[in-house]
Every structure is written in C-alpha cells, then in structure tokens.
Amino acid sequence: MTSICIITGSTLGGAEYVADHINNVLTEQGFEVELYNQATLADIEGKSNLLVITSTHGAGELPENIQPLFKDLAHSTADFSSMKFGVIGLGSTDYDTFCNAVNIVEETLKAKEATQICESLRIDVVNNFDHDATAEEWLPSFIENL
C-alpha cells in the first residue's frame, strides 16, 4: 500500500479543510495517509511521499504553524533525496506575493534534494469558491507520479 504524508500550513483553517478532504479522497482510493497539522521534522523524516497543503500569510510568508518545520528543514542534515513531493497552495491574488509559500516550500525541499513530481496547484481564494473540488481535480497529477 502506498503511503502519503500530508502536512498543512494554515492560519484560519482553510488549508486544513482542504487537507481533510484530500485525506478522505486518498484513503477511499486505498492510500495509507498520515495527516499532520503541526508537523515536526521527525514527522516527515524518512517519508517517501509528501503532500504539503499551505496558505500564504504575512507578506508572502509561510503560516506560523509550519514555519518552525521549514526552519528546521533548512538546517537539517538528514537525507531527503528519496522523498517525492507535491504542493497545494491557497492564497489571494489581492497580494503581490500570491501563493509565495508554495515557492518557499518548493525551494526548501528541492535544496534538500527531494523531488517535485508535479506542478504545484495555486488556488486563488478570491476567484475560486470550491477549494476541495479544485484540489481533487489536481490530485491525479500528483498520484500518477508516485
């Protein structure tokens, strides 16, 4: 059974709702899913498949709940070269820094030699009112490369 680790970055819960939905969809499809809303480095170390679902806050920053993990990750000497990852972002095009957290996640994981297996999804919450459906439509692009 293929395992997928989902982690969320969220301030107001929007990204967590999307993660809950994707967790249900993946579980129904027979994947073994672990979901962390307050992930630590230990939670993701050694994982083969990582799905990051995060909003952007501040001025193009990661939400506070996921910042410590990415700081630790940037300084980690652990081997992430066998990790595959995908990213779903929630953000608003009212900001110049639309979905910049996605860029931070991509850059940090790539710097650790993890492999991005599909184009990231960037959901614009100003124009998109069904985040769950949009994430579900994107999901095959992630799954087919696991």
Ligand X SMILES: Cc1cc2nc3c(=O)[nH]c(=O)nc-3n(C[C@H](O)[C@H](O)[C@H](O)COP(=O)(O)O)c2cc1C
Q: How does strand 121-124 pair with strand 115-116?
A: unpaired
Distance in angstroms (rounded) separating the CA atoms of residues 71 and 134: 29
Among 50, 99, 104, 135, binds ligand X (CB under 6 A): 99
Ramachandran area for residue 46 (φ above 0: left; ψ -120 to 50: alpha; else beta): left
Binding of residue 59 to ligand X (CB under 6 A)? yes
Binding of residue 39 to ligand X (CB under 6 A)? no
Closest CB to ligand X among residues 20, 34: 20
Residue 102 CB, shortest distance to ligand X, in Å, is 9
φ, ψ at 9 (rounded to 5°): -120, 120
Residue 127 CB, shortest distance to ligand X, in Å, is 12
Contact 37, 16 (CB under 8 A): yes
Closest CB to ligand X among residues 50, 99: 99
Residues near ligand X (CB under 6 A) are: 10-15, 55-60, 63, 90-92, 95, 97-100, 125
